[in-house]
Amino acid sequence: MKSIKLGKSNLLSSRIAYGCMRIVGDNNKESRKKGKLAVRTAIEAGFNHFDHADIYANGESEKLFGEVLQEMPGIREKLIITGKCGVIFPDNPKKGDPGRYNLSKEHILKSVDESLKRLKMDYLDLLLLHRPDFLFNAEEIAETFEILKDNSKVLNFGVSNFRTSQVSLLQSFCSMPLVANQIEINIHNVSSLIDGVLDQCQQQKITPLAWCPVGGVAYPAWRNTFSKEDEIRIDNEFEYQAKKYDTEKWIIMLAWLLKHPAEIVPIIGSTNSSRIKAAKHALDLDYSRIDWYRLWEARNGHPVV
Ligand SMILES: NC(=O)c1ccc[n+]([C@@H]2O[C@H](COP(=O)([O-])OP(=O)(O)OC[C@H]3O[C@@H](n4cnc5c(N)ncnc54)[C@H](OP(=O)(O)O)[C@@H]3O)[C@@H](O)[C@H]2O)c1
């Protein structure tokens, strides 16, 4: 697998990362077995960057991943483990409590400790703030990052779903460079190409990590923004390109993301072994600028002027 340096860090990530949000499935014996196989397959296929969050399957994804690594002695040091914190589900800790964000010092420190325990690890290579807490205090977060770095629990820091102004605000208080902004980019959600997030990534050498990269191609996207007519037009273009490049539609989508000069790292979340192995074919396509724009136009439903 090709690799890429993440932001201004020394982390050398596989060009496509593997997301662990779905690895426990329904959390029964069968799906846990499938999830373990998915992680092992990803490692064997050359993925070295694994994305986690404290909330995935209420911590069960981190636990399962920790179990896989325990069964593969010596592998931890070869991997980049990214964690995320800051989202709190409703009814937590009390029934009736609202869903919310919490990027306070106390919460971040507690979340990292709990994640490391579940993962059975001493450190995270990268910690991302999962969502911008409306009440975040940049100075307090900068201080928290320093504590985590000083006690070697986290080596690098970044954000997720942050707007450009929020990245700038946080960066202005942090001594270390923010390494990544993990954002949704897929055929439905292209806002980062328009709202300046990807421009900022290029300018400040922050790596954009794309979540749900094949949403809307291989499975319904989180927020379905297209009409039936749009979907048919977009699907026809995917069909045309998949045939042209002798591949599958979702691989075209990955190639489309990889073409962007901000050096987007897609995070795939399939638990299907053959798809995990196939994803890297996107890196071998000589994907053209013309086809990039054909898909852009098909997606928008009007020509570029
Ligand atoms: N920062 C954030 O706010 C945020 C939010 C969401 C996710 N994430 C991260 O992003 C990662 C990836 O997200 P994701 O799992 O939604 O990524 P994804 O790769 O876009 O989607 C994976 C899903 O698509 C299905 N799929 C893929 N190719 C398919 C095909 N050809 N045909 C049918 N189904 C297909 C997979 O099913 P199979 O397993 O059957 O292949 C799986 O259910 C997550 O694991 C997580 O780490 C971050």
For 157-201, how does the pLDDT look when each residue is reduced to its tens digit (9 = 90+)?
Answer: 999 999 999 999 999 999 999 999 999 999 999 999 999 999 999
pLDDT band at residue 216, thresholds of 50, 70 and 90?
A: confident
Share of the chain above pLDDT 70, in %: 100
* Contact (Cβ atoms closer than 8 angstroms) between residue 109 and residue 144: yes
Give the distance (Å) from ligand 1 centre to CA of residue 271.
9
Long-range (24+ apart) CB contacts under 8 A made by 165-174 are 166/132, 166/136, 167/200, 167/204, 167/206, 168/200, 169/138, 170/129, 170/136, 170/138, 170/141, 170/142, 171/204, 172/138, 173/138, 173/139, 173/141, 173/142, 174/138, 174/141, 174/142, 174/145
Mutate to test the pocket of ligand 1, among 80, 272, 277 (most ligand atoms within 8 A of CB): 272
- Domain-located, residue 232: no
C-alpha span between 138 and 154 (Å, rounded): 18
pLDDT at position 225, please?
A: 77
Active site residues: 56
Give the distance (Å) from ligand 1 centre to CA of residue 269.
4
Per-residue model confidence as pLDDT tens digits over 115-133: 999 999 999 999 999 999 9
Q: Whose CA is nearest to atom 45 of ligand 1?
A: 19
pLDDT band at residue 221, thresholds of 50, 70 and 90?
A: confident
Q: Whose CA is nearest to atom 32 of ligand 1?
A: 218
Q: What is the mean pLDDT of residues 294-302?
A: 96
- Domain-located, residue 89: yes
- Domain-located, residue 149: yes
C-alpha span between 129 and 111 (Å, rounded): 11
pLDDT at 54 over 90: yes
Residue with token string 């064997």: 44
Instruction: Please give the angle made by the CA atoms of 198, 160 and 231, to the nearest 5 degrees.
Output: 65
* Contact (Cβ atoms closer than 8 angstroms) between residue 51 and residue 213: no
Q: Tell me the HSE value of 269 on the side-chain side, using a 13 A CA sphere.
A: 21
Share of the chain above pLDDT 90, in %: 95
- Domain-located, residue 137: yes
The mean-pLDDT minimum among 10-24, 59-73, 217-231, 248-262 falls in 217-231
- State which residues form the domain around 43: 3-223+261-274
Q: Whose CA is nearest to atom 43 of ligand 1?
A: 270
pLDDT at 217 over 90: no
Give the distance (Å) from ligand 1 centre to CA of residue 41.
16
pLDDT at 218 over 80: no
CATH code for the domain in which residue 48 is found: 3.20.20.100
pLDDT at 222 over 90: no
pLDDT at position 297, please?
A: 97
Q: At 218, is the secondary structure helix, strand, or coil?
A: coil
Domain count, the chain: 1
The more confident residue out of 225 and 196 is 196
Per-residue model confidence as pLDDT tens digits over 28-40: 999 999 999 999 9
- Domain-located, residue 64: yes
Share the mean pLDDT of the chain. Answer: 97
- Domain-located, residue 210: yes
